Amino acid sequence: MLTLLLIQGAFAESIEAKDFETLYQENRYTVLIENIRCPVCQGQSIGGSNSSLAGDLREQVRKMILNNKSDKDIYLFMVERYGDFVNFKPPINSKTYLLWFAPLLLLVLCSIYLFRITRNKNIHLSSSDSDIERAKKLLK
C-alpha cells in the first residue's frame, strides 16, 4: 500500500505556489494563465499545461505582473511572440474575420440549402400525387 502511495505522488502534478505582493496580483495571474493558450498543447491554457514552454510562460506572466505591467501589455507580449493563436478570445481584425464569421456564414448557407430541399420535396410530392390519381383512372 505504501508503494502505491509513493508511485502516485511521483506522477502527481506539481502545484506552483507563487509569491505575490497582493491578492489582486494573484487573482490576475490566475485569470491570465487560464486565458492564454499554450502554443505547444492545443486546446489547453498555460495554466493547465505541463509542457516546459507553458511553465516558462507562466513564469514570464508572473514576472510581468510583479513589474506592474497591465493585462494588455502581457497579452501584447504573448501575441507578438506567438500570434493571435495564444488568445482563447482572439480580437476581431482583418486576420481573424474568417475565424469569427465562418460559423455564421456556414449556418446561413445550410439554412438556405435546407429550405430549398424541403420546398422542392413538397413540390415533387404534390406532382406525384396527381400522377397517382391519373394512374388510378387509367387502371379502372
Of 26, 49, 42, nearest to 82 by C-alpha is: 42
Higher pLDDT, 88 or 34: 34
Listed in sequence order, the residues at least 6 apart from 130 whose beta carbon sits closer than 8 Å to its beta carbon are: none
Residue 13: the pLDDT is 45
Listed in sequence order, the residues at least 6 apart from 20 whose beta carbon sits closer than 8 Å to its beta carbon are: 26, 29, 62, 65, 66
Residues facing 87 on adjacent strands: 36
Q: Yes or no: say if 84 and 91 are a contact pair by the CB < 8 Å rule.
A: yes
Q: Yes or no: say if 53 and 38 are a contact pair by the CB < 8 Å rule.
A: yes
Over residues 3-61, the pLDDT tens digits come to 656 565 444 444 455 688 889 999 999 999 999 999 888 789 998 888 899 999 999 99
Rounded average pLDDT over 77-93: 84
CATH architecture of 16-91: Orthogonal Bundle (1.10)
In whole angstroms, how far apart are CA 79 and each of 85, 94, 95?
8, 15, 13
CA dihedral 82, 88, 89, 95 (to 10 degrees): 40
Domain ranges of the chain: 16-91, 94-140
Of 34, 53, 30, nearest to 43 by C-alpha is: 34
